[in-house]
Amino acid sequence: MTEHFPLAALTDLAALPARLPRYDEEAARAARDRQASLTKPPGSLGRLETLAIDMAGWRGTSRPQIRKAQALVFAGNHGICAQGVNPFPQEVTAQMVANFHAGGAAINQICAVTGADLTVIALDLDHATQDFTQSPAMTEAECLDALNRGAAAVDRAADVLLLGEMGIGNSTVAAALAAACFGGAPGDWTGPGTGSDAAGIAHKAQVIARGLERHAGVSGDGAAILTTLGGREQAAICGAILAARAYRIPVLLDGFICTAAAAPLHVIDPALLDHCIASHRGAEPGHGRLLDAMAKDPVLALDLRLGEGTGAALALGLLRAALACHNGMATFAEAGVTGG
C-alpha cells in the first residue's frame, strides 16, 4: 500500500508519528489568504472557513476539492457480550451488515444525499473477540491483522475519509477503551448504547470495571489497550486512520464508538489524530467527555447515537459547502466590491 503499511508488528506504531506526512503550512496560509480576500466580512463563515483551511493544509493545495469521498463502516463481534451487556443478540451485527449491503440503513440514505461512496467491511463476524473480563480481547496477531485490513481498505484516491462502525456490544468496548486511555470511573463513560436501561448501564459499568482491574498493566500503552480491550472494528478504524494520514486524506470521525476506537492512537501520540475531524457530539454521555479529552471540537451537535458513520456523512455535507464557498466565491477584486 505505502512504505508504512502493512505493519509488521504493533510495535511499529510508535515510530509512525515521526514518519507520516504533516500539515502543509504553506498551503494552509494560501487558503487563509484566499479566505481573507472573499466577498464577506473576515471570519463571517465561522467554522466553514477553518474547515476549508484545514482541508488545504492536509491536501497540500490552497484550493482543495472533494472529488471522491470514501465512507468505510467496519463491523465486528465481541466476546464481552457473554457478560450480558447488550439487550440485543450478536446475530444483529450480521443482520445489520446485510441491511447495509441492501441499502436499507440510515447510513445508506445519508451517503446518497451527501455524495459518499460507502463500503461495509465485516471482520470475522463468526469469530468474536474474547471476553476482556477473562483474557485480552485479541491476540497481538489478531489486532495487527484487523489494523492492516482497515489500512488496506482506504482508497488513496479519496479526498476525504468517513469512518463508522457496527457491532453489538461495542458501546461497552468503547467505554472501556475511553476509561483505559483517559482515566475516570467506568460510569463516567458508560451509556445506553443500543437501548440499555439504568440497570443495564450500571451492569455495563461493573463489567468494564472488572476488565480494567484485570488489565491494569496496559495503562499508558496505546497498542496494548487496543489489543486487550478493543475489537476488530476498533483496530480496523485505527488502521484506516493511519493509512489516510499516509495518503494525506483528512478523516471525519463518527460518534462515541468511532472516536473511542481512535483513542489508543491518541495515547501513542496525539499528533496521529491531527488530520481527524470530529463530525459531531453525540447523545451517548461519554462522547462529549471523550472529545474534550482529545481536544476535538465537533462540527455538529444533533443528539445522534446511531453510529454507522451517520454523523460523519452528515458533516460531509457541511465540508462540501465549506469548500464550495472557498473555491467558488468571488474575491473583492473579482466582484468589484470595495472593502477587500
Indicate which residues carry an active-site annotation.
308
Residue 44 burial (10 A CB sphere; 0-12, 13-18, 19+): exposed
The three three-digit cell numbers of residue 234, written as one number: 476498533
Tell me which amino acid residue 3 is: E
The answer to whether the CB of 91 falls within 8 A of the CB of 126 is no
Q: How many CB atoms lie within 10 A of CB 228?
A: 25
C-alpha 162: how far from chain center:
7
Separation of alpha carbons 281 and 263, rounded Å:
15
Q: Could you give phi then psi for residue 278, rounded to 5 degrees?
A: -75, 115
Separation of alpha carbons 198 and 188, rounded Å:
14
Q: Are strands 69-75 and 117-122 parallel, antiparallel or unpaired?
A: parallel
| Contacts of the segment 215-218: beta carbons below 8 A, 24+ positions apart | 215/132, 215/136, 215/180, 218/180
The answer to whether the CB of 98 falls within 8 A of the CB of 64 is no
The three three-digit cell numbers of residue 293, written as one number: 479529552
3-state secondary structure of 25: helix
The three three-digit cell numbers of residue 311, written as one number: 454523523
